[in-house]
Structure 1
Amino acid sequence: MKISTNSKCLCNSDKKYKKCCKPFHDGVLPTLAVELMRSRFCAFALKKAEYIINTTHKSNSDFTDDLKAWREDIELFCDNTKFISLDILEEINGLDESFVSFKATLLQNGQDASFKEKSRFLKVENRWVYVDGTFF
């Protein structure tokens, strides 16, 4: 999927993509975990596997040194998923650890695959990374 930089951002922020997630996809570091959460959702919707890989903590269960296989897995997931919306439910901000609870509305192969998760983020070498999450 591709979108215009002037389109509404896919993360459901009501901002244009160029003023929301695009700067992060282009290399600007998110200052808050919720910005990373939104930009990762948008990256999945836009099939930006490198961004997902680069913003995942090494302790995450998906993390692997086999980047080719990991990239292919992400791309397959993106190809089979329609990313409908992201709703941020709660943010708990810390200096080095933050939590973001959200609802992701998804369709996979035409079936509802929506879920709610409380995600954990750590700040490592001055940049936020996704560690893991708990479904609820």
Structure 2
Amino acid sequence: MKFSPNDNCPCGSLKKYKKCCKSFHDKINFPKTALELMKSRFSAFALCNSEYIIFTTHPNNCDFTLDLKSWNNDILNFSKNTKFEKLEILEIIDDEIESFVTFKATLFQDKNDISFIEKSRFLKVEGIWKYIDGQFIEEEEK
């Protein structure tokens, strides 16, 4: 997928990528809040930036592994085969070292809707937010 720094950021901010998540992905800045981390991780998945996903994953996360080659390949395989359509933030519970962000990710694989709602938990480790885990939430029937 061709993507320019002048394209809109995949996180849904309506800002250009270079003015939004790019500085996080390039490690020029670090997200100041769990919400910024959540959005930058969504963008990283959309842009196949496995290095950023690995960097921002807490060591106690169940996917965390020292087998970086395999982990990297798993992330890239998922990202390359998924269309990241939209990110909607539903709820934020913000605190200084532990925060929660509930979001809906609208995703497609081979025209199949694999969208989900997750309540993600983030911990601040040595001043840097990390994704530790998440809980899927059933979407209420309309």
- TM-score normalised according to structure 1 size: 0.97
Partners of 1:78 and 1:24 in 2: how far apart?
A: 18
Deviating above 3 A after TM superposition, structure 1's stretches of 4 or more consecutive aligned residues are none
Partners of 1:31 and 1:24 in 2: how far apart?
A: 10
> Quick check: 1:2–1:46 contact (8 Å CA) kept in 2?
no
- TM-score normalised according to structure 2 size: 0.93
Q: Which residue is 1:19 aligned to?
A: 19
Partners of 1:12 and 1:116 in 2: how far apart?
A: 16
Task: Give the AA of the match of 1:25.
Answer: H
Partners of 2:61 and 2:25 in 1: how far apart?
A: 20
Partners of 2:7 and 2:73 in 1: how far apart?
A: 27
Gaps of 5+ in 2: 138-142
SS at structure 1 position matched to 2:40: helix
Partners of 2:23 and 2:86 in 1: how far apart?
A: 20
SS at structure 2 position matched to 1:9: coil
Task: Give the AA of the match of 1:63.
Answer: F
Q: Which residue is 1:29 aligned to?
A: 30
Q: Which residue is 2:97 aligned to?
A: 96
Partners of 2:104 and 2:2 in 1: how far apart?
A: 23
> Quick check: 1:119–1:133 contact (8 Å CA) kept in 2?
yes
Partners of 1:88 and 1:13 in 2: how far apart?
A: 11
Residues 42-65 of structure 1: CA distance to partner in whole angstroms, max 9, x if unpaired? Answer: 000000000000000011111001
Residues 68-98 of structure 1: CA distance to partner in whole angstroms, max 9, x if unpaired? Answer: 0000000110111110010111111100000
Gaps of 5+ in 1: none
SS at structure 1 position matched to 2:32: coil
Give the C-alpha shift of residue 6 in structure 1. Answer: 1.5
Greater alpha carbon shift after TM alignment, 1-10 vs 35-44: 1-10
Give the C-alpha shift of residue 2 in structure 1. Answer: 3.4
Partners of 2:100 and 2:113 in 1: how far apart?
A: 25
Distance 1:87 1:117, change over 3 A: same
